[in-house]
Structure 1
């Protein structure tokens, strides 16, 4: 009865509905390994009724973590520990699970948000950061080291190796993180990439390394795995990365075998001025969808079922993603189905909780 709860194809997979749980950093790993918190967190989201869940930004190498407590997938030991968590979650839910692979670049080596989020020195448990250019994220921070050709090779190989581990874990797919001011976004924006070699300067050059990484990840994945890309469509800063640049970038995805584009924005620098309001990023997703023809996911202050349905019915996006909203209300998909006159399939253990006034909500 609703578009929100209709099936949708993403490359080789078909999701039961168009609600995606966006990746959300938990800052709760130990040495890159998941903890009991991840089992509870992912298990809760996997039984939420969403069509798919994307695991938080997962570092492809230790220095690519945002914080020392970030999840990682840079070794076979991390594959083993994440497999234990996934086994527990999968025992309770059949929801497709993807993983976002990331490198924080100059935004790495920071304290957890609830501890202030400031850059950590080596003496505080931090490390030297790397980026396209030796430009700090914020005033007063230690500048990153500009990446050499050898460093670029190392990071490309790290993304590909992590993608192979994701495949070994039988995850439904991989989302490459090119958003929110992290490493690949840093290459895209002229505000953070001032290189004068083949990796900087012109738009074509600034696109080159992110496209190289996306291509390497696709080659590392078999055809039965979904490949998505998370992008910031604009920096929201004059002279920075903008929607026109992003359209040019996204137009190259189809030939690389990308199956969807997850459209966010901002995150590159503190100077950003974001006009935050309900669904403020949906028009960005609409433009990218129109110009690329690829399935797009809209995200950002999508909180009401009717709002999500309108985004889909007006063609702005093919799916919607929830982040903070589904943490606040882990049964958001159930409530959305009730509001839209649709139905959901809860775990059998919860069938008896169907409200008397909503008989027929549960299949």
Structure 2
């Protein structure tokens, strides 16, 4: 087989040597436009896991690489005069030039032909069976066959410059400095006996405001030296990008994604030759989460493995390669996106105290979870948990963040877990009955701090279905009071009522008979901000609410609020999300009014705010009100997270205590991006930009999720829905699962507590034994000392 790699970076070199090692008879050529010792950038970083992959693929080069590595376990974060260190992270640094030289020497030893200072394209390669396009970030091959590869290049906001210094850092160091123009940060790590990488990064608008866009290279380096002098100890910063001048050395990171990775081109003999993207030509991931070099080497390993698994079918091998790597890379890129956005918005977290700022940074990508931090450095995490518990007004000892108390107005919640409002479609004439007593009572006894009713409707016409509960008649007050009294008498949980109006999504069947489908008979008129049909060609048409109707509906919300207080509820939530009536005013997708309630976001907010203010006026000042919003319509032309910030600010100014942050369900045209904790970033932005407490909701299913969200300051409470349907005692179960035993169970259930804890400990012991750990080692792992 004849293989040509266009580009002599890590991807091309490593793939060349792997294939030559497995198939000495193959004719393999790597062609590089630069000289052997030319390189740009300084050191690169690998995790311990990546090193394991290299050792499995080619022990000889791995040994040389390992010998040249500088290894460290610690991350040190400098912020507002504090230095916080966390250990157990397992990183290695190596000079990029040294790495390339090792790979070049290994290629030569195996018989791979290396051609330097040669600028070629795939058209110059006329007799290859396989062409690897490893020609870097600005790949000419990718551009040439863009119609096939379909690249998507997202230029990120921050500017960064890649520098080096003789100051030797003993940890991966993040340093943050505030200037009159905004925040700058440095990423620094040692990669050989004499040198450290020192990357300086800042948002583009800060970079311009500081005048760096007009400075010479020398002046901008001097600027960085002065700004980060306290960390450099007199050592200079220097650049090795001699080909760049002035501001051009400051780069905006391009996130590269390609829909396809293989282009088949006609060869001279009539056959088709594949041109395969690899490394930065195929994808990029921001340096704050790892290196593109790591991804490039893993590309080479997977392609070599795929070709070994399909020796007689090159198409099948390349299909397998792209299927496997595209999934792996997307996972890394998703985490990298979270990390990139964190560094683009340091100002969002700058009001945090150093302890929480550091935790937020460590967990920014969501790849490192709370319990993962415990495995890495139990001492660090225990200290942080103790600090956080004290800040929350709890015990002066380490407590998992989800079990710290939280106070809003006159209501103190025992922990941070909320049973999310979940439609049950089990009421009769709007009356909550025995089912609701069982459903809400069981979950109140299950350990959550706050149990929310499903959306409770303010009039018969406000119901989603005929089986939805209401709060508009005296019998409703008595029915709900029975449930509230049970919760208060049998648990230490609080109970809240969510009030809403279905709007254009009303008069439908219960979910299991056809969600959002109109009733077969007995439909009632629908009202919304503007005429709409939720399911095109299926749903009823709603009519535009008149001024008189708006006043009547406002009065219904006020009456329901008073009734909720009479029933003894501790908490109230106004439903302004998911396309229901008040949501239909907020979204431009559903509000086409031309009066004072339509048009600008300020006008679209007007009616929901009028309703909220009227409710707040009659709801006791000692009790909180939250507002549920859809932070993203997931439809072009709809509300975005930027709009959600302004919506949250408006409700905060009107007296709201929290924003319950959901998304979508406004339009059936939506295209949401699902995933673990996928709505939490919206709660994070609203909390830390609008300055109002938030409830995170959406794919939160483990204690680890809740602990990470609360500890990082991404939200103040976490609403857990479906896991509570499967297990009413989800909170108590998760406490046992993470080994937190100091939690109160109902007296009637205490016998189950000890048995559950013993069973989970047996499971841990069995897992440890299967992993070959002794009882002492298992205990050490639990303590974080192994």
Q: Please tell me the TM-score bracket, short chain as reference.
A: over 0.9
User: How do 1:14-93 and structure 2 match up within 5 A?
Assistant: 14-93=412-491
| Conserved? CA contact 1:68–1:126, under 8 Å | no
Q: Please, which of 345, 348, 353 is the counterpart of residue 752 of structure 2?
A: 353
- Cα deviation code 1:232-288 (max 9, x no counterpart): 101110100111111111112222221111100001011111111110000000000
For the pair shown, which has the larger CA radius of gyration, 1 or 2?
2
Q: Deviations over 1:64-89 (max 9, x none)?
A: 10001100001222112222333344
Q: Distance in 2 between matches of 1:236 and 1:13?
A: 34
Secondary structure (helix, strand or coil) at the match of 1:210 reads helix
CA distance in structure 2 between the aligned counterparts of 1:298 and 1:32, rounded to whole angstroms: 29
- Give the corresponding residue for 2:406: 8
**Residue 235 (structure 1) aligned to one of 612, 633, 647:** 633
Q: Secondary structure at the match of 2:579?
A: coil
SS at match of 1:354: helix
Instruction: Report what 1:133 is aligned to.
Output: 530
Superposition pairs for residues 1-363 of structure 1, below 5 Å? 1-121=399-519, 124-140=521-537, 141-342=539-740, 343-356=742-755, 358=757
Please give the alpha-carbon distance, in whole angstroms, between the structure 1 residues aligned to 2:685 and 2:724: 26
Gaps of 5+ in 1: none
Q: Cα deviations across residues 310-329 of structure 1 (Å, max 9, x unaligned)?
A: 11112111111101111112
Q: How far apart in 2 are the matches of 1:311 and 1:89? A: 27
**Partner SS, residue 138 of structure 1:** coil
Which sits farther off after the overlay, 291-300 or 171-180?
Answer: 291-300
Instruction: Find the aligned partners of 1:284 and 1:115 in 2 and give their Cα distance.
Output: 32
Residue 356 of structure 1, CA deviation = 4.5
Q: CA deviation at 1:335?
A: 2.2
On the 8 A contact 2:646/2:690 being kept in 1, the answer is no
CA-to-aligned-CA distance 1:177-202 (integer Å, 9 cap, x gap): 01111111110011100000000011
Offset from partner CA, 1:138-170 (integer Å, 9 cap, x none): 111221011000011011111111001111111
Distance in 1 (CA, whole Å) between partners of 2:516 and 2:423 is 16
Corresponding pairs, count: 359
Who is 2:335 aligned against? none
Shift of 1:106: 0.1
CA contact (8 A) 1:326 1:332 kept: yes
Query: Given that residues 10 and 295 in structure 1 are in contact (C-alpha distance below 8 angstroms), is that contact kept between their aligned partners in structure 2?
Result: no
Question: Quick check: 2:487–2:494 contact (8 Å CA) kept in 1?
Answer: no
Output one character per residue of 1:45-70: Cα deviation in whole Å (capped at 9) or x when no partner. 11010011011100011111000110
- After the TM superposition, which of the residue ranges 73-82 and 14-23 deviates more from structure 2? 73-82
CA distance in 2, matches of 1:323, 1:238: 28
Distance in 2 of aligned mates of 1:259 and 1:8: 13
Give me the whole-angstrom Cα distance separating, in 1, the residues matched to 2:732 and 2:553. Answer: 41
Structure 1 CA distance, aligned partners of 2:576 and 2:492? 28
Asked whether the equivalents of residues 635 and 671 of structure 2 are also in contact (C-alpha less than 8 Å), the reply is yes
Partner of 2:368: none
- Aligned equivalents of 2:704 and 2:486: distance in 1? 34
The structure with the largest strand share of the pair is 2
What SS does the corresponding residue of 2:403 show, helix, strand or coil?
A: coil
User: Per residue, is there more helix in 1 or in 2?
Assistant: 2
Deviation at 1:225, TM superposition (A): 1.4
Contact 1:178 1:210 in 2 (8 A): yes
* 1: CA distance, partners of 2:503 / 2:476: 21
79-88 or 194-203: which moved more?
79-88
Decide whether the 8 Å contact of 1:21 with 1:321 is kept in 2: yes
Does 295-304 or 328-337 show the bigger shift? 328-337
Q: Name the structure, 1 or 2, with higher relative contact order (CA <8 Å, separation 6+).
A: 1
Q: TM-score, normalised by structure 2?
A: 0.45
Q: 1:356 to 1:323 in 2, by over 3 A?
A: closer
